[in-house]
Amino acid sequence: MASAATSGKTVYTTPSDTEILATRVFDAPRELVFDAHTKPEHLRKWMVGPEGFTMGACEVDLRPGGKLRVVWQKPGDSEFEITGVYKEVKRPGRVVYTEQWGEGWPETTHIYEFLENEGTTTMKWTTQFPSKEARDKATGAIDGMDPSYDRLDAYLASV
């Protein structure tokens, strides 16, 4: 895998046996990229996964101890949801929260860092898993994130 992210491309690395790091550069100020990752009115526009998926619910209580809940519908399938709890919120630079996909999936911790450089924002998103096996099982989520981040690029350019 490439080691440096460029605008419009997400670079995925595995810095340890229990982590995935996604790095992407957005052509937008970090306050906007931060809001796009933390406000339901923005999330609904881009974080819907692969083509045809829809987001039925998006609830964000953005404060330490606040809860997160997002529900998606896969075409012709049942709903699935994630829930989580915010551990740290430092607008516009960092957000840390736990995430649970439901029964059979381990709880993970997500750390988002947003670094601005001359009008662009580098997002570093680390997902921490309880084991290498859990990390390896979750790498299929990349299939949903790439189209979502492509959608986010277009959305950021429109606002």
The 8-class DSSP code of residue 7 comes to: B
The mean pLDDT of 23-50, rounded to a whole number, is: 94
Please report the pLDDT score of residue 124 as a whole number: 97
> Within a domain: residue 62?
no
Domain that holds residue 23: 11-46+91-158
Q: Is the pLDDT of residue 155 over 80?
A: yes
**pLDDT at position 34 over 50:** yes
Strand order in the sheet with 19-26: 11-13, 19-26, 120-128, 108-117, 94-99, 79-90, 67-73, 54-60
Q: What is the CATH number of the domain that holds 37?
A: 3.30.530.20
Structurally, the chain folds into a number of domains equal to 1
pLDDT tens digits along 80-136: 899 999 999 999 999 999 999 877 788 999 999 999 999 899 999 999 999 999 888
